[in-house]
Structure 1
Amino acid sequence: MRSFLFILFSVPFISFSQTAKQDSIWKPLNTFIGQWKGTGEGEPGKGNYERSYMFILNNNFIEVRNKSSYPPTDKNPKGEVHQDIGYISYDQLRKLFILRQFHAEGFVNQYRLGSISADGKTIIFISEAIENINEGWRAKETYELKNENEFVETFELAPPNGQFEVYTKTVLQRKL
């Protein structure tokens, strides 16, 4: 009976410690959780962005939904709407974050965490694989936290054996 009572009263503490440990893993990315909007520019032109970050599946993943709208221009007379869905996970074996993005155009990018600055304000993801593009292309996502309500995202691409070049740069503000 004592053993049963010990287990009965221990389960909430064990569960809480697992939840607390899981929550602490996400500390570097917690600022992103929420709804965001902003503007950006780059290869597709100047556009408006909507983005959301939310925990899913028992806080094991962060889902990222992005919509970028570019109005018609001389260079792009039809304009463009880009959508992607991403998932950030924590790879316990490698002890790092993985970001997988699924793009409406058919690209699938898998990134690994490249670095987090000492102050936690700059986070860089480097591609490990990109599906549906010629071999050798690389991508990089850099997030610079300005404060808890604003960040700058720089998306860069590099052709095979080439250097990274900015494709888009976006400033996002938290929707209040």
Structure 2
Amino acid sequence: MKAKLILTIVLSLFFINTCFGQQSSSWEKWNWLIGEWSGEGAGQPGQGGGTFSFAFNLDKKVIERKSHSEYPATNNKPLIIHDDLMFVYLDFAGSPSKAIYFDNEGHTINYAISYSDKSITLTSEKVPNIPVFRLTYTLLDNKNVNTKFEMSKDGVKFMTYIEGESKKIK
């Protein structure tokens, strides 16, 4: 009887460890983006520049991205300052496949994340009467990244809203 109890406890601990162990994250696909970046770009808001950072937070359970960009005033446009905050988080299986974005214009975007060899692509959910957004980070070399933000009415044909290159500064 005692042997059965011990065996049951051991198997239960193994089962619990296996189930919850799968939730530990592997952030290796994000390692090249962790740090502070500075860059310039152009698009519909005009020519501008800014900074962004990716950092682990909450004991490596989320990645926090902070971004600040400025587009100088022109003859027909006022100065534009854009700040946003995004959290990449783990799905139930422990994979970093989701993100949520907030900005100073009042937007909230829920993203699904996909990966390729040298890029990370975040694509928003399809919501009626709202464009689909796509944000792509492409590694150019170990110190430079291209960032592209696109929009689509149908989720198929995307137009670039803004694109630029950034250099890792930390």
Range into which the TM-score falls when normalised by the shorter chain:
0.7 to 0.9
Aligned to 1:116: 115
User: How much has 1:135 moved relative to structure 2?
Assistant: 2.1
Verify: 1:125 aligned to 2:122, yes or no.
yes
User: How much has 1:94 moved relative to structure 2?
Assistant: 8.4
Moved beyond 3 Å, runs of 4+: 93-96
Larger Rg: 2
Verify: 1:85 aligned to 2:85, yes or no.
yes
Would you say the 8 A contact 1:84–1:102 is kept in 2?
Answer: yes
Aligned to 1:36: 37
Per-residue CA deviations over 1:40-90 (Å, capped at 9, x if unaligned) read: 1100001111111100001000000000100011341x2100000000012
TM-score (norm 1): 0.77
Would you say the 8 A contact 2:146–2:165 is kept in 1?
Answer: yes
C-alpha RMSD of the superposition: 2.5
Q: How many residues align?
A: 152
Would you say the 8 A contact 1:136–1:161 is kept in 2?
Answer: no
Question: 3-state SS of the aligned residue for 1:64?
Answer: strand
Identity of aligned residues (%): 27
Amino acid in structure 2 at the alignment position of 1:156: E
**Structure 1 unaligned spans of 5+:** 1-13
Give the Cα–Cα distance (whole angstroms) in 1 for the partners of residues 36 and 80 of structure 2. 22
User: How much has 1:93 moved relative to structure 2?
Assistant: 4.0
TM-score (norm 2): 0.80
Question: 3-state SS of the aligned residue for 2:125?
Answer: strand
Aligned to 2:64: 63
